[in-house]
Amino acid sequence: MTAPGDTTANYVALMRERGWNWGDLADEFDRQAQQPALDGGANARSMARWARSQDEAARQRREQAPDTPPQDPRPEPPKRTAVPPPRPAGADPCR
């Protein structure tokens, strides 16, 4: 789970765990809207609309940049290149 206030990131993490896309998440909200609820499923239907809008936005982004491969949002950490200085001859190896 991500930060408590970051709803979108929480759903992205859930989708990554389950191997879903935005359309799958919207379908899950539609299924939840069919279950008995005090609000008659209005909240789940609203969340389904939101997920479908995210799916549409993702589709449009893919269409606008078809030649660029998807990139990992986490950059690779820089390689460590530091080398410790050599020990003087006769130095205690335990220090």
Q: Report residue 93's pLDDT band, with 50, 70 and 90 as the boundaries.
A: low
- Residue 92 in any domain: the answer is no
pLDDT digits (tens, 9 = 90+) for 43-65: 999 999 999 999 999 888 888 87
Distance of CA 38 to the CA centre of its chain: 31
The type of residue at 54 is: Q
- Residue 41 in any domain: the answer is yes
- Residue 52 in any domain: the answer is yes
Rounded CA gap, 1 and 72, in Å?
Answer: 19
pLDDT given for residue 50 in this prediction: 93
- Residue 19 in any domain: the answer is yes
The type of residue at 2 is: T
Q: Report residue 1's pLDDT band, with 50, 70 and 90 as the boundaries.
A: low
- Residue 38 in any domain: the answer is yes
Rounded mean pLDDT of 2-9? Answer: 75
Q: What are phi and psi of 23, to 5 degrees?
A: -65, -40
The pTM of this model reads 0.59
pLDDT given for residue 78 in this prediction: 80
- Residue 77 in any domain: the answer is no
- Structurally, the chain folds into a number of domains equal to 1
- Residue 79 in any domain: the answer is no
Structural domain boundaries, residue 48? 7-64
Residue 16 has pLDDT above 80, yes or no: yes
- Residue 76 in any domain: the answer is no
